[in-house]
């Protein structure tokens, strides 16, 4: 399914993209254009290929067929550091070396901006300080990452990606592990970054968050894109039923008017205790 109209100047596009692990094809002939300046959210059931798509879009997986275009050019043709100055990625799972401090971890986001003989500059320092402040982890700067809570850790990882200072940010499930307040905080942070002109692409599992925060939704199923567009028109009861196999109703979010997915009550009644 290729849509005929493509937003102009899309910073990140896929054309006829196919991705495979060894011999197994996960994504086949996929077309996609991330609208410039958008907050694009990818939704879809487990194992449908969201992380795979994100990794391919970031140039981490080679395209088995088709291309990924970064700023209009084949992503495979960029030198590694060049890509990293345009696009930052937070993968679904990242490991932190034991004993590393928050400030050190965030500083590693500056790799693409460093030279062999100029390892640390004023700009590097400013970028790290900004990233720590934006994610509200400045107070933790000297703490060890492995001694933080899951939510604090997640914000530190986001800070590391922010320190890379790329106009395009890709995040794979950035709100996993966070309590509801911190989920909203991270989403607000992404919203702010988006407001400052950065294009954000995130995989989210919470459809209601997706509906509230995204300007553009991409719904995936079995490695294909099944719906694309603003939340109001894409997140419908039919789509959720089709993609997730979940009976549901969609109502209007009382605060924002965006779609709000309410699962149908499919509980089986408890068996009535016999013999009484």
Ligand X SMILES: Nc1ncnc2c1ncn2[C@@H]1O[C@H](COP(=O)(O)OP(=O)(O)OP(=O)(O)O)[C@@H](O)[C@H]1O
Binding site for Mg ion (CB under 5 A): 51, 92
Binding flag, residue 48, ligand X (CB under 6 A)? yes
Task: Decide if 126 contacts 207 (C-beta within 8 A).
Answer: no
Task: Decide if 240 contacts 255 (C-beta within 8 A).
Answer: no
Nearest approach, Cβ of residue 202 and another protein (Å): 15
| Chain residues that interact with another protein, rule: CB under 8 A | 55, 58-60, 80-85, 87-89, 91, 93-101, 103-105, 108-109, 111-112, 114, 116, 119, 138-139, 141-142, 164
Strand order in the sheet with 12-21: 24-34, 12-21, 65-70, 73-74
Q: b/e per residue, 80-108, with b = 16+ CB within 10 A?
A: eeebbebbbbbbeeeebeeeebbbbbbbe
Task: Decide if 141 contacts 100 (C-beta within 8 A).
Answer: no
Task: Decide if 100 contacts 145 (C-beta within 8 A).
Answer: yes
Task: Decide if 177 contacts 126 (C-beta within 8 A).
Answer: no
Binding flag, residue 250, ligand X (CB under 6 A)? no
When CB distances are held under 5 to 8 angstroms depending on the partner's kind, the choice from another protein, ligand X, Mg ion, none that residue 139 binds is another protein
Dmax over Cα atoms in the chain, in whole Å?
A: 83
Nearest approach, Cβ of residue 92 and Mg ion (Å): 5
> What is the rounded CA–CA span in Å between residue 91 and residue 171?
6
Nearest approach, Cβ of residue 132 and Mg ion (Å): 27
Residue from 10, 30, 33, 49 touching ligand X (CB under 6 A): that is 49
Give residues 75-94 in contact with ligand X (rule: CB under 6 A): 92
Nearest approach, Cβ of residue 111 and ligand X (Å): 23
56 vs 261 by CB, closer to another protein? 56
Nearest approach, Cβ of residue 23 and another protein (Å): 13
Residue from 10, 13, 40, 52 touching ligand X (CB under 6 A): that is 52
For ligand X, the binding residues (CB under 6 A) are 21, 26, 44, 46-52, 92
């Amino acid at each position: 399914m290729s849509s005929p109209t493509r937003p102009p100047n899309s910073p990140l596009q896929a054309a006829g993209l196919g991705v495979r692990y060894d011999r197994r094809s996960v994504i086949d002939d996929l077309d996609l254009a991330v609208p410039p300046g958008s907050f694009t959210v990818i939704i879809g059931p487990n194992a449908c290929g969201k992380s795979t798509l994100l990794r391919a879009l970031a140039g981490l997986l080679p395209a088995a067929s088709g291309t990924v275009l970064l700023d209009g050019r084949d992503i495979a043709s960029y030198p590694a550091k060049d890509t990293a100055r345009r696009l930052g990625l937070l993968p679904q799972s990242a490991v932190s070396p034991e004993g590393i401090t928050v400030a050190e971890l965030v500083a590693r986001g500056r790799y693409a901006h460093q030279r062999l003989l100029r390892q640390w500059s004023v700009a590097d320092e400013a970028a790290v300080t900004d990233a720590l402040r934006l994610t509200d982890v400045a107070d933790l700067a000297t703490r060890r990452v492995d001694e933080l809570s899951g939510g604090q850790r997640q914000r530190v990882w986001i800070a590391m990606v922010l320190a890379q200072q790329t106009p395009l940010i890709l995040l794979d499930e950035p709100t996993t592990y966070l309590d509801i307040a911190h989920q909203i905080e991270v989403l607000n942070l992404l919203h702010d970054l988006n407001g400052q002109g950065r294009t954000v692409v995130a995989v989210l599992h919470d459809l209601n968050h997706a509906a509230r925060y995204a300007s553009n939704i991409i719904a995936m199923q079995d490695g294909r894109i099944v719906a694309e567009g603003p939340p109001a028109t894409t997140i419908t009861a039919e789509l959720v039923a089709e993609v997730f196999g979940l009976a549901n109703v969609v109502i209007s979010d009382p605060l924002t008017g965006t779609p709000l997915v309410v699962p149908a009550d499919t509980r089986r009644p408890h068996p009535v205790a016999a013999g009484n």
